[in-house]
Chain A
Amino acid sequence: MGFLIKFFIRDGIQSRRTLWLGILGLFPVGLALILRLFSSPLARQGIEAAALFPRIGFLLFLHFLMPLVAVFIGSGLIADEVEGRTLPYLLVRPIPRAVLVMSKALAGWLTSAVILAISIAAVHAILALPGGLDVWWGDLGEFLRILGVLLLGLAAYTAFFGMLGALLKHPVLAGLLFTFGWENMVSFFPGNVKFFTIVHYLHTLFPHMRQFQSQNIQTQLLSFIIKTRGTAPALAIGILVALTAVFTGGMVLVLMTREYRLDEV
């Protein structure tokens, strides 16, 4: 399995997909640089660049970059091989399909995790370091917690979109609709419906989550009427790990049971 992971990582690094991923990862870094360059005019508007890190972590990484990277990587795990008509060559190798899928998923997760980690570490450094090493050190715990949440989420989303990629003809659209449609719509909604999202469990683990919750009067009124149970952090971690395992299992199952006919591609 180790060899396979190394092989898929090497294969992934040489692909244009990783280049596009790297460019995506540069988006927040560019924003952090702009914030730092214009820190004085921003300060006059009452915006402290360093204090924006949790907000950037939440809006830009948790709700934008991480799911988008997962859609990009996850949906291509099986679909790329089908589109490139290389799946039969992989499947005829004397390797169990479960090992093949898990290696691909792990390699994809590792590649995107490194890009995501570099991106958020750069943003954190750009925003916090000008305040001094003490500020950077002081925020390190929060940074590591956000990074941990992102990596957990990345694993669950990558496996989920990988399963969609094995099942559907248009996994990217389905992934975008799920993440930016369904999850955005219900994750802040009171009641039990949010338990059917992945992002709810990430919200449970995200530091300072209260400041991002909706101040909308209608939502507050609904929260008052519909009592919502919270999720304990340990349970949220357990559910995320379980979801990753279930979706990876689903991917394996689809690959084992489905017949991919290349003339239909």
Chain B
Amino acid sequence: MPIYEETYRSWEGSLIPRPRTWRVIGKTGIRLLWKKGMILFILLAYIPFFVRAVQIYLMTRFGEGTPLAEAVQSLKINADFFHGFLQGQWLYLILILIFAGAGLVANDRKYNALTIYFSKPVGFWDYASGKLLIIAFYGALVTLIPAWLLFIIKVMVSQDAAFLNQYYYIPFSILAYFLMVVASLGVLILALSAAARSTRSAAVFYFAILTFPEIIRGILSRIPEAGLFSLNAVLRQAGAGLFGVSRPYVFSPILAWLVLIGVSGLSVLILHWRVRPTEVIK
């Protein structure tokens, strides 16, 4: 082709309407956090899993039907056992969410990386979903995966299918519980990370928001409705419904779900308000 005909040529490829940028953001974040030594926290969070696995083995092989197992409810392997295990992971989950999530947006804001993100074909929802994927991944490693593994262990060491027939719904309950936790606690840490410029402030405030109402609930233990202010209590109450176990508090589970939806909605609003491509520096 003569050189004078070498002009601008239109691109002839096809445009992908929604490139999955959120997956790229998520995968990069997961990899970066893994390199920062996340494995240590995860190993720590797996100590209760090993204890519970031993409990399942011993109870299934030697304990079932014995007077001790009948007398001590907490030794039984039932829906309550799995609900209790997920509740027991609370502190580890919070610490891992802090480790994974406190700096996710705060650091991007601190180093003005949002402008770089949004100069690419990345929208707010891509950005938020990508960041949430990171939190969901690490949250799953300490709640969803070990709980599912415990269920599989129980099914495998059982000598018949009675347990599976009776509690076939538990893996779905675990999944629903995990999604509920990510949608509430995960979005909350992102919102706080967006609201604070420093990782430390986001971490301390997240911890305070989760712990303070729980202490108030302890102080005002005679008022059942005080539990509605505690995300821990609200998650327990809603989680009890998912697992079909007796409710730990007397307040309505519908109210518990409304609180969770409210927290998630408010967190998304804060995130939307703080995550902007450009920021006016005063």
Contacts and interface: CB of A to CB of B under 8 A. Distances in A.
Contacts of B36: 169
Contacts of B18: none
Contacts of A71: 204
A60 B211 CA distance: 10
B212 A16 contact: no
A181 interface: yes
B145 interface: no
A113 interface: no
A68 B208 contact: yes
Interface stretch (B77-85, B193-201, B269-277): B193-201
A177 B95 contact: yes
B220 interface: yes
B222 A47 contact: yes
B98 A173 contact: yes
B197 A16 contact: yes
Nearest to B214: A64
A257 interface: no
A46 B222 contact: yes
Contacts of A172: 98, 199-200, 203-204
Interface in A23-52: 24, 27, 31, 42, 45-47, 52
A42 to B, nearest CB: 8
Contacts of A47: 220, 222-223
Interface in A184-209: none
Interface of A is mostly: helix
A45 B99 contact: no
Given A17-B201, A176-B207, A180-B211, A60 B219 contact: yes
A72 interface: yes
A16 B200 contact: no
B219 A27 contact: no
B205 A45 contact: no
Given A59-B215, A180-B91, A68 B207 contact: yes
Contacts of A75: 200
Contacts of A173: 41, 95, 98-99, 203
Contacts of B212: 27, 60, 64
A55 B219 contact: yes
22 contacts: A16-B197, A17-B201, A20-B204, A24-B204, A27-B212, A31-B219, A47-B220, A47-B222, A59-B215, A59-B219, A60-B215, A60-B216, A63-B215, A64-B211, A68-B204, A68-B207, A68-B211, A172-B98, A173-B41, A173-B98, A176-B207, A180-B91
Interface of B: 36-37, 41, 91, 95, 98-99, 196-201, 203-205, 207-208, 211-212, 215-216, 218-220, 222-223
The 9 closest A-B pairs by CB, nearest first: A72-B204, A172-B203, A20-B201, A59-B215, A45-B222, A27-B212, A64-B215, A60-B215, A172-B200
